Copies of this chain bind each other. A is one copy, B any other.
């Protein structure tokens, strides 16, 4: 059984594991106030030309609920697409902290400055929440990418309207590698806070939150603790990000995911398989007859995205760990 189910099915990139092994026997300070975390922050900072605050968090949902609650006042709300991870797949984690999400319908998984403007204009009095933050994922939940110019437009709009701009980077590596207009520095310059996803790009777990706007940096560690995300052995996360940002392993991981996806995509095109959505990143969505899906499921793990009567859409995900032969097997099976 080969899994194309997700990008978090294998333990960790070998350099990450090696870094942990090397740390065995060393005594670290607790709660992320350790040399490894500091070193990791320093390595990440080198990619960013403005001063930023960096904090290591344990996972995506935890990062989202912590950041949103840290920034918003109770009567303020966050704007997201109706397929946004915070809206659909976090079991009300945002609302658990009292924060409301305002929804817009995305195009290609993305929201636009016009939509942000409309939401703000239609929330005019004290009977409604005040829209105060825009949340996007890059790559999006369906694998599309906000390019540099799209981010610029959104960032400009948020500043014009006095909103915070937050980029969920659970799959940020994939976005940066797939879109040459992007880089960590560009991301950092076009938002108030974002995070660099480790879980889905080579780490065992962990996201690196980068707060670029000094106005929302204060007391962030209090918010992490309150949300149950301050690991006693914070150095475990620090060590992982140290490994990922030495020798740009983070981007090597993402590169393998994207190249694997492109290789897979090419192969699927060659087989004349229909795409549900032309994704440029490591999530590919294709139509297959249900019969084919049933057969395939005996050898491969994947997610059924949209279930139909005759045919369905399945999602195939590649990662830092995907090997060309995995894709070859899959394409071979599909051919048969």
Contacts and interface: CB of A to CB of B under 8 A. Distances in A.
A127 B103 CA distance: 19
A174 to B, nearest CB: 15
B30 A6 contact: yes
A204 interface: yes
A230 B89 CA distance: 12
A27 B8 contact: no
A227 B64 CA distance: 11
B26 A11 contact: yes
Given A58-B58, A59-B232, A92-B129, 12 more contacts: A8-B232, A21-B21, A29-B301, A31-B126, A63-B228, A74-B97, A75-B219, A77-B92, A91-B126, A91-B129, A92-B98, A205-B231
A95 B100 contact: yes
Contacts of A23: 11
A123 to B, nearest CB: 9
Interface residues of A, number: 76
A319 to B, nearest CB: 10
A130 interface: yes
A336 to B, nearest CB: 22
22 contacts: A8-B233, A9-B233, A11-B26, A11-B235, A29-B301, A58-B58, A58-B231, A59-B231, A61-B225, A61-B230, A63-B228, A74-B92, A74-B97, A77-B92, A90-B226, A92-B129, A95-B99, A96-B96, A96-B97, A126-B219, A126-B230, A127-B225
A200 interface: yes
B30 A9 contact: yes
Interface in A54-87: 58-63, 65-66, 69-70, 73-75, 77
A30 B58 contact: no
Contacts of A90: 127, 225-226, 228
A228 B233 CA distance: 18
A268 interface: no
A5 interface: yes
